[in-house]
Amino acid sequence: MPKGDHLSELNKKRRKNYVGQKFGKLTVLSDDGMNNKSHAYKCLCDCGNIRGNVNGYELKRGHINSCGCSYPKGHFKPGKTKEEYHEHVKRCLLEKRNIVGECWEWTAQLDDKGYGRRTFTIDGKKAKRPVHQTAYRLWKGEISKGLHVCHTCDNPKCFNPDHLWLGTAKDNLQDMIAKGRSTIRKGQDGGKSKLKNEDVLEIRKMYSEGVSMASMGRKYNVTTACIDSICKRKNWKHI
């Protein structure tokens, strides 16, 4: 017998045979090779489907108990409907809130922008998602494609559904500017501009007087395209 084969034969003798046994909805039909260093089995589900390559370790401990028919769409755990799962997540969110005024502040993991993060499953896809987006889905409804969940309270930690509203990226930006939270700097305050406000006013005056854009570009050391954008108010619209 080749070296090592005797250990393999010994493990086979010691291994408990699950053929014929039932685990949840699965009845073990036969051995089916190896799966992740564990013996695998071919199983028949009560619904009639056959599931192969079932990990024996997970089967024995109840981690797998059906062909997949027990897993409702939008959820990754058996034995719960999507509605029951959503109620479960609601309770988990509320356990991690700290009420500050009218805000529900998330007390667990935050991303680099200060928004809460938590695992949530949508249509079978499990991923860590922003808590305020999850809260909107659970308490208010689905989020249409192209829309963002915005805050009325401007508190990224907050996931109070009453403080959340849907809007486009433009709506969100306009709301930010209206509240004075914009970090966008325009014109000479931008830091990279070669021109000052008075230069732009002078360029437009020279343009009205018939001075060529090329000569103005040489004078201010900018491109003709830059002068064209200024004169036609594509850029520097704020003055």
Q: Which pLDDT score is estimated for 104?
A: 95
> Would the pTM of this model clear 0.75, i.e. be above it?
no
Say how many domains are in the chain.
Answer: 3
Query: What does the alpha-carbon distance between residue 231 and residue 205 come to, in Å, rounded to a whole number?
Result: 9
Q: In this structure, are 165 and 191 located in the same domain?
A: no
- pLDDT tens-digit profile of 22-60? 998 899 999 888 877 778 889 998 888 888 888 888 888
Query: What does the alpha-carbon distance between residue 207 and residue 227 come to, in Å, rounded to a whole number?
Result: 9
Please report whether residue 168 resides in a domain.
Answer: yes
Residue with tokens 């922008």, as numbered in its chain: 113
Domain containing 42 equals 5-60
Please report whether residue 13 resides in a domain.
Answer: yes
pLDDT at 2 exceeding the cut of 70: no
Q: In this structure, are 122 and 194 located in the same domain?
A: no
Q: In this structure, are 173 and 196 located in the same domain?
A: no
Q: In this structure, are 169 and 222 located in the same domain?
A: no
Please report whether residue 70 resides in a domain.
Answer: no
Quick count: other Cβ atoms within 10 Å of Cβ 184? 9
Q: In this structure, are 152 and 205 located in the same domain?
A: no
pLDDT at 94 exceeding the cut of 90: yes
What is the sign, positive or negative, of the torsion defined by CA atoms of 40, 44, 45, 50? positive
Q: For strand 148-151 and strand 97-100, is the pairing parallel, antiparallel, or unpaired? A: unpaired
Q: Which domain CATH number covers 146?
A: 3.90.75.20
- pLDDT tens-digit profile of 162-220? 999 998 888 777 776 676 665 555 656 655 678 888 888 899 989 988 999 999 989 98
Q: In this structure, are 98 and 173 located in the same domain?
A: yes
